[in-house]
Copies of this chain bind each other. A is one copy, B any other.
Amino acid sequence: MDEPVLLTGAGGHVGQVILERLGDKYDWRLLYHSQPAEEPNHPYVTGEVQDPADVRPAMEGAGAVVHLAGDPRPEAPWDSVLPNNIDGTHTIYDLAVQEGVDRVVFASSNHAVGAAETDKRTPDIYRSEDDFRLDGTEYPRPGNKYGISKATGEIIGRYYHDTYGISVCNIRIGNLNEEYPPVDYDRGQAMWLSPRDCAQIHDRALRADYGFEIVYGISDNDSKYYSIERAREVLGYEPQDNAAEWDGTEKLSE
């Protein structure tokens, strides 16, 4: 990818992990919601993701977008996810078409299918011995309004892929925790995404060939109930981490 890559939501958790680990690998342009505390190492704009006037200067001339911006709270109310997540994602795709950008990597979420974790399935699906898997072909089943907004973002991408041919990769991100898996939280361990695996899957999604994809962004955890086969096959994702291998003391090494 020789052209610049627009990263929206650069100040968020996923954005920071990507910049820390892939900062030198791409010619980034950053969209922040508010002025960052430290001066970024890349050109940036600040503004509302749903406002084309704010986003357009960063979209012009880009070759791809990693779209992370939005209200990241699982408990976010409708009045926030409607403008920030749903309208914001539409703005990104609409500007991408206008500016000739032909690849969007979208941060979807495990919450797009959170209600698939029914009372009948839990807590068994959080255990290694259970072989239930979601594989990304399922009809969306959000467990909160944030999840509705992420499922809608995927469908907006489906439309833009079908109509304009944009390559779209939706990564249903699991639980991006620090250098070790969530402690005493089975669900979080099952869907842990280590920082280096997070960086890798986004890197691969910026390079692989595909049309429209929905993949799960998690590490290769023994207790996973999201399949990572599609991410392996289409993106060449090779996760390095597994929540079960953490011995409870040190951070995982690079």
Residue A142 lies at the interface, judged by CB distance under 8 Å to chain B: yes
Partner of A148, one of B144, B145, B156: B156
Residue A205 lies at the interface, judged by CB distance under 8 Å to chain B: no
> Could you list 24 examples of A-B contacts with CB < 8 Å?
A78-B94, A82-B82, A82-B87, A82-B90, A86-B86, A86-B152, A115-B158, A115-B159, A115-B162, A139-B139, A139-B140, A139-B158, A141-B158, A142-B155, A142-B158, A142-B159, A144-B159, A147-B159, A148-B152, A148-B156, A151-B152, A151-B155, A152-B152, A152-B155
**Copies of this protein in the complex:** 2
Contacts of A137 in B (CB 8 A): 139
Closest chain-B Cβ to A231's Cβ sits at a distance in Å of 17
Main secondary structure of the interface of A (DSSP, over half): helix
Q: How far is the CA of A163 from the CA of B111 in the complex (A)?
A: 13
Contact of A159 with B155 in the complex, beta carbons under 8 Å = no
Interface residues on A, range: 20 to 34
Residue A100 lies at the interface, judged by CB distance under 8 Å to chain B: no
Instruction: List CB contacts (< 8 Å) of A118-143 with chain B.
Output: 137-143
Q: Nearest CB to that of A81 among chain B residues?
A: B90
Q: How far is the CA of A78 from the CA of B163 in the complex (A)?
A: 15
Contacts of A87 in B (CB 8 A): 82
Contact of B115 with A143 in the complex, beta carbons under 8 Å = no
